[in-house]
Structures are given as C-alpha cells and as structure tokens.
Chains A and B, each alone.
Chain A
C-alpha cells in the first residue's frame, strides 16, 4: 500500500517533468513556478493521449508508457533547444511571504481533505473513476463505455481526458489504488496556485500575486474532499492556464505564447465540455479584441482548434452522442415558453440559493471593482461573464433545471474562481502601483 502511494507520487512528478520538457519551446518568459504548472497540465494531457496508443503495444507494465512519454519529452526538449532561461523578477517582499504562508496553510487543509479517503463522490464513482478503472483494467477503451445502454447514466458523451489521465498514472504507478490516486488533486491545486502566483508576480508584483493566490487557495467550495475524483479541480488549472495564455497573447503575439494557448486549451477541452466552450469564447474574444492587429485570427485559432479537436476526434472514433441531461428540443419555437419558464426557475433558484447567501462577498467584490484601476486582465471579465451566462442557459435546457442548478451549477461555476482571481490580482497590482513592467 505504501509503495503505491510512493509510486503515484513519482508518477505525478514524472508526468510534470515530461510535460515541462515537451513544452520547453513554449516556456520563454515564464517564471519558475509557472513552468511547474504548465508541466503538470501538459504532462497529464500527454499521458492521456499516449495511453490508448501504447495499449495497442503487446507489452504490459509501465515501460511502454514511460518510453513513449520520454521520447516525446526528449523531442520537445530538442525542439526548444533545452529550457530557456527564466526571466529576472523582483524579489518577493515580506507582505507577499506572509500571504503565501497563509495560502500554504489553506492548501495544506485542502490537501488533507483531498487524500483523506479513497475518492468517493457520486460523479467519481459513476463517471470519472468508473471509466478510468475500466480503461486501466481492460488495457483499452472498451466500446461499451460509449454504446452500452446499461451504462447510459455514466455520461458516455463526456470527454475521456480525466479517466485516461487517472488510468495512465495508475499504469505508471503499477496498480490502481484509488486512495493514492487522490494525490492528483493536491498536485493540481498546487499547480493552479503556482500558475497564479508566477503569472501575477510578473504582471502585477509579488504582493498582489500572493493575495490572489491566497484567495484561490482558501476557496474551500472547490478545494474540498468532495471534489477529489471530480473534473473541476483539474479543470480549474486548465481555466487558469488558458486565461493566462489569452492575456499573454493579447499583450504580445509570440510563438511560445501560441504554443501555450494550444497546450492549455487542448488539455482543458479533453477534461470537460465546459473547456470546449471556454476555448471558443477565448478565441472569439481574441479575434474581436485585437482589431487591426495582424495575425489575430491565427492567434484565435490557437484556442479555437484545440478546443474543438478533442470532441471532433471523439465523435469521429465513437460516433455522435447526445447529452442525456439536456433537451435540445426546448429550442423549438413551440417550446420556447417552456424554456423561458426553465430559465426563470434557474434564475430564481440562483437568487435564493447562491446570490443572496453570497451577498456580502459579492458586494465586497463590487466595491473592489469600483475602487481599483482598470488593468489589461479586465479583458477576462467578459469572457467569464459569457461562460457564466452559457452555464445558466445550459441549466435552462436541462431535463430537470432545478436539480441541475442545485447540484451542478455552483460546482462548475466554482471551477472558474481561480481564473477570476487573475483579474483581481492584476487590478490589485495596478491599483497599488506594484505592477512591474511587462516581461518580453
């Protein structure tokens, strides 16, 4: 048992190192902490992509997956001519150190909750874990995961990124231990916090970066025991990284930044359907928001194509599958009144269940928005707003909108909070005058 905990930890470190090497060419202008985050996200995507391919090799054990990952990592490292030097950043001040210590304590609290027992959430048992365990023990992706009527409750239409990543980690670790595999969750939370701190440190200064990191770390609505085994925690990392790639691309279009946009978006869209939507919105915002700048469509395509690609490949391989929770016929003219009623139900329930109980922090955020200066990360605000609006619309299209709003909506909105703290951190840095000049 202890050995498997150790090997899962080694598998996560290996995954992060492999991802970091693969993405070496894209790491120019990234701080050290950001590189760890990008490494883990890309590495998870890489292992998930490689697992079904190496499963076709008549060799068991972790060796084929390790070898394939090492080859691609070496190729990435060669393409980037090694890791580029890190940019020089100002020292971390005492206030930032204090905030980071509190953030580390909040992270430790969440980490204990994540690994306190084998992953158990309903969606883990019925969707993510079931598929991951089936893939791991079958040595392939069985067609019944998509087409078996006895499994129709397991959302066959969902992307397979997370189940494949779990199965790949188990393959490298040498066994399926769903308690040890929960280590992925503190690891992805740590990566999210490192991505936030590293990015904001170079854009808004270390104190503002530490404050935003703390706001994310202390968000126990997302970082809690129930989230272990679910897609929201890894997706939050994807939202943060793709938002950072978006903001970097708005500031200046480089090959490294485009590569990062592709890497973050393809991994996020492989994890959750919301990732596809997010990528399309970022592409639209980039295309519309950089008017007159040459190459803006090519930059937008760096979000659009990787957002659509995982769903397109899945549809080509297993055929189209409808989401059984949603009723698309509500868009028919004859049912528009019913759709409007559903929308009203969702809004009323949100008002009672989320907005009123959260009136104090929402009011505080409003005051913060009024009191602080505009900043480049404000471009993220409409993206977040459109994503939120589409979530609410999706709830209105649900077979049971009230149930969907109650069980899913707060959870999927919560996964956006770490990305929203980028905006908060940058506004704080710009308003306090601590933002350093942009690193080119």
Chain B
C-alpha cells in the first residue's frame, strides 16, 4: 500500500500546485468574471475574455447571440456559451435566429451597437 501511495503522490504536479496556491488569495478577492480571465479558462486566448465581458454587458439576458470567431476551435464556443448564459448562443448557420451578432476580431453583421466591445464588435438584427 505504501508503493500505491507513493505512486499516487507522484501524480501531483507540484509546480502547478505552487502556482495555484500563490494565485489563490489574489483571485479570491476578484469578481469571478475578472478572476476567470487570468487563469485556465482563457488560456487559449486571453483577449477573448474581455470581448465576452463586453458582449455580456451590452446584451439582455434573454437574447440569442450569433457568435462569429475566426476559428473552429470549440473552446471559443464553450467559453462563450458559459460566460454569456443564460443568453442563447448560436453559430453563424443560425444567424437569422439571432437578436445580435458578436464578432471576435471582425466586424459584426447587422446594425452596429454603440457599446464598447474589446477585440470585436456587436451588431443587432436590423
């Protein structure tokens, strides 16, 4: 059982744990949406977090939003669906069902919305 225990303990990534322990007090004091942009959720693209936060502030909770991202990477879709919930997120194939189109690093189709959207733009259905 000692062998099993040692093998278990060796699976702990100590460097990652130390980094997490150091970041914990800082992140706990932040609102979760800000804390989220600093750590693993947006490790694939840090700029996507402020973009989503801008879209969240500019759209009502019951809206359907078509998401336009320059890649097929599903992490963009999953992060957007979660951060913007309970808004309904659809792909560009369902643009006609959307109240808004949110385009990351691109110009959104539709009537431009005046809200500040970092790293992207928001268009409302004409």
A287: Cβ under 8 A from any B Cβ: no
Closest to B75 in A: A122
Selected interface stretch from A20-28, A273-281, A356-364: A356-364
Using Cβ atoms and an 8 Å threshold, which residues of chain A touch B89? 150
- Closest Cβ of chain A: how far from B71's Cβ, in Å? 16
Per DSSP, are chain B's interface residues mostly helix, strand or loop, or mixed? helix
* Count of interface residues, chain A, beta-carbon cutoff 8 Å: 50
Q: How distant is the Cα of A369 from the Cα of B122 in the complex, in angstroms?
A: 62
| CA of A254 to CA of B86, assembled, Å | 46
Partner of A144, one of B61, B75, B77, B88: B88
A209 interface hit (Cβ, 8 Å):
no
Is B57 interfacial (CB-CB < 8 Å)? Answer: no
Q: Does A59 contact B (CB under 8 A)?
A: no
Q: Which of B5, B81, B94 contacts A130 (CB 8 A)?
A: B81
- Chain A, range 362-419, C-beta contacts under 8 Å to B: 364-365, 368
Q: Binding site of A, secondary structure by majority: helix, strand, loop or mixed?
A: helix
A148 vs B5: C-alpha distance when bound (angstroms):
46
The minimal Cβ–Cβ distance linking A377 to chain B, given in whole angstroms, is 15
Within the complex, which residue of A122, A125, A150 is in contact with B94, where a contact is CB–CB below 8 Å?
Answer: A150
- Bound-state CA distance A231–B81 (Å) is 19
Chain A residue contacts of B36, Cβ below 8 A:
117-118, 120, 178-179
Q: Report the tally of A-B residue pairs with Cβ distances under 8 A.
A: 128
B88–A150 CB distance below 8 A: yes
Q: How far is the CB of A117 from chain B (nearest CB, A)?
A: 4
Residues of B within 8 A of A360 (CB): 3, 7
Docked CA distance A122–B32 (Å): 17
Cβ contacts A225-259/B at 8 Å (1 or 0 each): 10000000000000000000000000000000000
- CB-defined A-B contacts under 8 Å, sample of 19: A1-B28, A115-B28, A116-B20, A116-B27, A117-B38, A120-B39, A120-B41, A122-B78, A126-B78, A130-B78, A133-B85, A144-B88, A150-B88, A214-B5, A218-B9, A221-B11, A224-B12, A225-B16, A361-B4
B interface residues with partner A (beta carbon < 8 Å): 1, 3-5, 7-9, 11-12, 16-17, 20-21, 23-24, 27-32, 35-36, 38-41, 61, 74-75, 77-79, 81-82, 85-86, 88-91, 94, 97
- Which residues of A approach B to under 8 Å, CB–CB? 1-2, 5, 106, 109, 112-113, 115-118, 120, 122, 124-126, 129-130, 133-134, 137-138, 142, 144, 148, 150-151, 153-154, 177-180, 211, 214-215, 218-221, 224-225, 358, 360-361, 364-365, 368, 424, 428
